[in-house]
Amino acid sequence: MLRYLYTFIYYLCAPLLCIRWVYKSFKPPQYREPMRERFGFVARQKKESIWFHAVSMGESIAAKAIINELLEEKADLNIVVTTTTPTGARLILEDMGDRVTHHYSPCDLPGTIKRFAKRIKPSVLVIMETELWPNWLYHMKKAGVPIILANARMSRKSANNYLKIESLINEMMSAFSLVLAVCEADAQRFISLGVDAERSRVTGNIKFDQAFDVNEENGYYLPWSERKTLVWLAASTHRGEDQILLLAHKKVLEKLPQAKLIIVPRHPERFDEVEHLIQESGFSFARRSQPDTWRESTDVLLGDSMGELMLAYQLSDVAFVAGSLVPIGGHNVIEPAMLGKPVLSGPYVHNFQEIFHELESQGGALQASTDGEISELVVDLLENENRRNAVGSNAKKVVEKSRGALKRTVKELEPFL
């Protein structure tokens, strides 16, 4: 009954979604979303496909790792990847090229999902992390398509919210042929929501197995030629966080006048907004994309380039992972940890709760809630090289001992291919 009510409300909202997608269709190519794909009008596949779905950048990275492993074993697999956001789409298109077919994800309407499935002919659907759409799950199950949730995560807060619609969530969870959870706590939450315990496995977090090509010679990323410059990074910031972090940097400069900050907004459309905030704060600044603005005296570098966050991590001494000072839930703390960087975060880490707590318990991560707390930790780590190295080393050890999830995940998928 709840699914029918949900579908009815979705139909009522469909005109607004159309307006949104029409607007997006006029955006620059890198942000353009073909509306026809959102309603399932895609090219027909000549043979059955393996359908991977990823929401954005993080899920696309994990999906890409799995797909690469599968294609190494069997190069002729026909793989279709759907993403929800342009950032995820760009990653798949740029990194995988014509080895896969990419489409934007179809909206969750019965006619749309049936049309999309008829055209791509999925033999299995692999959903990354926690993208739960009632009609997707219902109609794929009805069509006899196995559904696998890979690198599955479920926070305590999300589980409690889903329990408020227990009848609908039980129906959705019964659709999964397999749930591959990142940890035991996540697996138990899925089971409590209706997943059959025999269909639940703990395979670990694929993000621990990511391989990144980082060239340390790319120092040209920085406007400061003196390599002894102490640099801290605020990565993937959201609205409401930049002001706090810039205020923290003011306090850092009071004790360490030579310290520098790299600030990288999560979304490209906020680059100009953050530049304005930096100017208002009175800092001398440069933009990564504009070398003519670079000066040795620059206080803050605005990271306004795509695909270079790992390089920014590499060239920094301390990393603050944002999305955690506002209730976003935090971003990927594994990236700086695998590079041996001390990891700082705000209080909202529910997207990576178990991973962050593991880093924290092993001395590889620290948490702060205010600009004062952030500045104190940054100053302490920048001033004390031994402590900085120890915290970074602890973080890297956690990553190294947690590897292996990718191979376990691929092994679980093989019977469905």
- Tell me, what's the pLDDT at 31? 59
What tokens does 371 get? 């600009």
Can you tell me the distance from the alpha carbon of 202 to that of 177, in angstroms, rounded to the nearest whole number? 14
Eight-state DSSP code of residue 152: E
229 and 164 in a common domain: no
Q: What percent of the chain has pLDDT over 90?
A: 72
CB 375 within 8 A of CB 397: no
Q: Is residue 213 a part of any domain in this protein?
A: no
Please check the confidence at residue 326 and state whether its pLDDT lies above 90: yes
CB 351 within 8 A of CB 153: yes
Please check the confidence at residue 33 and state whether its pLDDT lies above 80: no
Please check the confidence at residue 216 and state whether its pLDDT lies above 70: no
259-296 pLDDT tens trace: 999 999 999 999 999 999 999 999 999 999 999 899 98
303 and 243 in a common domain: yes
Q: Is residue 212 a part of any domain in this protein?
A: no
* Residues contacting 408, CB < 8 A, separation 6+: 180, 203, 204
Cα torsion for 380, 384, 387, 389, to the nearest 10°? 120
Residue 166 annotated in active site: no
Can you tell me the distance from the alpha carbon of 202 to that of 193, in angstroms, rounded to the nearest whole number? 16
240 and 199 in a common domain: no
252 and 141 in a common domain: no
121 and 247 in a common domain: no
Confidence of residue 223 (pLDDT cuts 50, 70, 90): confident
375 and 300 in a common domain: yes
**Number of domains composing the chain:** 2
Can you tell me the distance from the alpha carbon of 268 to that of 302, in angstroms, rounded to the nearest whole number? 11
- DSSP E strands, 13-54: 49-54
Residue 319's φ and ψ, nearest 5 degrees, are -120, 120
300 and 365 in a common domain: yes
Q: Which one is predicted more confidently, 25 or 144?
A: 144
Options 59, 129, 241, 335, the catalytic residue:
59
Across residues 371-392, what is the average pLDDT?
98
Can you tell me the distance from the alpha carbon of 179 to that of 173, in angstroms, rounded to the nearest whole number? 9
382 and 411 in a common domain: no
CB 54 within 8 A of CB 60: yes
Q: What percent of the chain has pLDDT over 70?
A: 95
- Tell me, what's the pLDDT at 213? 57
- Tell me, what's the pLDDT at 210? 74
189-215 pLDDT tens trace: 999 999 999 999 999 989 888 766 555
Can you tell me the distance from the alpha carbon of 401 to that of 399, in angstroms, rounded to the nearest whole number? 6
251 and 191 in a common domain: no
What's this model's pTM, rounded to 2 decimal places? 0.73
- Tell me, what's the pLDDT at 29? 63
Q: Is residue 348 a part of any domain in this protein?
A: yes
Domain that holds residue 231: 219-401
Q: Is residue 210 a part of any domain in this protein?
A: no
Q: What CATH number is attached to the domain comprising 154?
A: 3.40.50.11720
91 and 169 in a common domain: yes
Q: Is residue 7 a part of any domain in this protein?
A: yes
